[in-house]
């Protein structure tokens, strides 16, 4: 009888352990409204199928909000721009950049309202300019103003999330905005572009969107991250191999538009504004490879110096290489 009881107890513990492991195969994934091919896989449930995880997709209004959620332990993984990633590292969060969601290229732009009298950066003096603070747009706006000899204090910089910017633009409350789609397209309908992210990148301030993870969680969930990056790579390659197929009435574009809240007719042009590095490119020193000398680590370091000068962060870590991990990109290319 004692043996039977021990076997029963052992079986119960085994079942309990299995159930606990099954329950841990859940994750809250923080995403934003960037218009990228990844949304097709997201909408189709391809990530859940590939990983076996139950995923709660939670949309955030900006990278600053994602960083706060990571800091509080509410989420272990999320999408952020290079500026929020820098801020997270500088604030001491134990995070790693594991994937480049996109090279922002021309996908973020400074738009001024028609009739505002703004034609140059100097004309922004005294004007209301909205952007999500601690975002890549915010970083590049500050960088451009600095390069153009305009003090950020001379313009009225306003911290608004994308949806709030769209509403403020519609009401006529702001004169300009540095923002991305789907809001970008809405503002361009009654405004004009005077500067793009690609223009500022050429001046020495490149930006990108990335997936960052809590380091400890990543160590315990490597299989998930490998499967995730492989699915994102597949979505990117499907887009690059058949861009002409991504028309407003295609299933792919409709899926992207639905996830991010964009008008389908704006999606093809927005996708074309981004660049999507391959897994091999990401694993190389062009992006994530090379530790402290990787392009991403150097970009984060450069961003940190600027953000400190602007009073946005207090410390600059001596080595950003520890915040960059190329192993999942390397696995995705295999």
- Provide the residue-wise pLDDT of the chain in tens; the chain has 334 residues: 333 333 333 334 333 333 333 446 999 999 999 999 999 999 999 999 999 999 999 999 999 999 999 999 999 999 999 999 999 999 999 999 999 999 999 999 999 999 999 999 999 999 999 999 988 999 999 999 998 899 989 999 999 999 999 999 999 999 999 999 999 999 999 999 999 999 998 888 889 999 999 999 999 999 999 999 999 999 999 999 999 999 999 999 999 999 999 999 999 999 999 999 999 999 999 999 999 999 999 999 999 998 898 888 999 999 999 999 999 999 998 7
Which of the 8 DSSP states describes residue 262? Answer: -
What does the alpha-carbon distance between residue 96 and residue 218 come to, in Å, rounded to a whole number?
A: 9
Q: Is 317 left (phi over 0), alpha (psi -120 to 50) or beta?
A: beta
CB-CB neighbours of 61 under 10 Å: 17
Q: Is 44 left (phi over 0), alpha (psi -120 to 50) or beta?
A: alpha
Which of the 8 DSSP states describes residue 114? Answer: T
pTM for the whole structure: 0.83
CA distance from start to end of the chain: 53
CB burial class (10 A; 0-12, 13-18, 19+) of residue 13?
exposed
Which fold would CATH assign to domain 27-104+207-332? D-Maltodextrin-Binding Protein; domain 2 (3.40.190)
pLDDT value, residue 24: 61
Its CATH architecture, for the domain 108-202, is 3-Layer(aba) Sandwich (3.40)
Domain with CATH 3.40.190.10 in the chain: 27-104+207-332, 108-202
Q: Which tokens sit at 56?
A: 């709660």
């Amino acid at each position: 009888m004692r043996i039977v009881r021990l076997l029963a107890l052992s079986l119960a513990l085994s079942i309990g352990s299995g159930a606990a492991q099954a329950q841990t195969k859940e994750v809250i994934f923080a995403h934003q409204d960037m218009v990228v091919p990844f949304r097709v896989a997201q909408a189709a449930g391809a990530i859940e199928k590939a990983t076996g995880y139950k995923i709660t997709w939670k949309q955030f209004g900006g990278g600053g909000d994602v960083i706060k959620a990571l800091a509080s332990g509410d989420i272990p993984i999320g999408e952020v721009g290079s500026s929020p990633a820098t801020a997270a590292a500088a604030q001491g969060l134990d995070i790693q950049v594991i994937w480049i969601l996109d090279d922002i290229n021309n996908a973020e732009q400074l738009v001024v309202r028609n009739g505002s009298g703004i034609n140059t950066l100097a004309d922004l003096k005294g004007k209301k300019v909205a952007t999500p603070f601690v975002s890549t747009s915010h970083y590049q706006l500050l960088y451009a103003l600095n390069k153009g000899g305009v003090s950020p204090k001379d313009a009225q910089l306003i911290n608004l999330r994308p949806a709030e910017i769209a509403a403020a633009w519609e009401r006529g409350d702001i004169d300009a905005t540095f923002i991305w789609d789907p809001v970008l397209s809405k503002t361009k309908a009654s405004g004009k572009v005077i500067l793009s992210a690609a223009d500022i990148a050429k001046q020495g301030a490149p930006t990108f969107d990335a997936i960052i993870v809590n380091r400890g969680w990543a160590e315990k969930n490597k299989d998930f991250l490998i499967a995730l990056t492989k699915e994102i790579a597949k979505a990117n390659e499907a887009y690059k191999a058949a861009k002409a197929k991504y028309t407003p009435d295609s299933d792919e574009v409709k899926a992207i538009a639905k996830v991010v809240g964009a008008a389908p007719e704006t999606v093809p042009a927005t996708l074309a504004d981004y660049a999507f590095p391959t897994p091999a490119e990401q694993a190389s020193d062009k992006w994530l490879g090379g530790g402290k000398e990787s392009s991403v680590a150097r970009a984060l370091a450069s961003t940190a110096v600027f953000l400190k000068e602007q009073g946005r962060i207090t410390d600059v870590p001596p080595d950003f290489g520890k915040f960059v991990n190329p192993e999942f990109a390397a696995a995705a290319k295999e």
